[in-house]
């Protein structure tokens, strides 16, 4: 292999251009799919998993853990959010309502079907103190952190 300067993207991601990379016979079906050769009678590579994994952002404020994810095209009733003290699970399903013959597609990249994500939270939270909102397809979940510094004085009663 000749010593060719790699692009910024290749250095950043650690990837190699197709002509530099030795082809693995196991990956050959992906290359054929990219060149437009048909797999199982269609141009689309079939999904192996039944559920897709949501992409997320998780960050904190002084009092909350905030989780954000894109759920465009999903009705709020089709979302299920489960929270424990150290984890949160988001499940849902994006329904495809259009009926277009596969032969009429040029590109088909949108995901339709079930999706989920379970996140281990970086701090313990109060499962009862949660606020979930959706705006323009962005789901934002705010969960109150457990205040370990919080103290409560109890007055003793004489009976």
Domain of 73, CATH number, reads 2.60.40.790
Q: Are residues 137 and 97 in the same domain?
A: yes
Clarify whether residues 9 and 71 are in a common domain: no
The mean predicted confidence, pLDDT, of the chain is 77
| Same-domain check for residues 61 and 98 | yes
Burial of 149 (0-12, 13-18, 19+ CB in 10 A): exposed
According to the model, what pLDDT value does residue 94 have?
A: 86
Residue 111 predicted with pLDDT over 60:
yes
Q: Any idea which of 89-93, 97-101, 103-107, 133-137 has the lowest mean pLDDT?
A: 97-101
Closest CA to 94 of 109, 79, 80: 79
Give residue 24's domain range: 1-46
pLDDT number for residue 36? 44
């Amino acid at each position: 292999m000749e010593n060719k300067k790699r692009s910024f993207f290749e250095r950043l991601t650690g990837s190699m251009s197709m002509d530099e990379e030795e082809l693995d016979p196991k990956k050959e079906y992906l290359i054929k799919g990219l060149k437009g050769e048909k797999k199982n009678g269609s141009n689309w590579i079939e999904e192996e998993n039944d559920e897709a994994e949501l992409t997320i952002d998780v960050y904190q404020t002084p009092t909350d853990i905030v989780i954000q994810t894109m759920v465009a095209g999903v009705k709020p009733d089709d979302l299920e959010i489960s929270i424990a003290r150290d984890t949160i699970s988001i499940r849902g399903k994006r329904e495809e309502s259009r009926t277009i013959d596969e032969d009429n597609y040029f590109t088909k990249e949108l995901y339709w079907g079930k999706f989920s994500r379970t996140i281990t939270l970086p701090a313990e939270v109060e499962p009862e103190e949660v606020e979930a909102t959706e705006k323009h397809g962005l789901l934002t979940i705010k969960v109150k952190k457990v205040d370990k510094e919080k103290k409560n004085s109890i007055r003793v009663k004489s009976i």
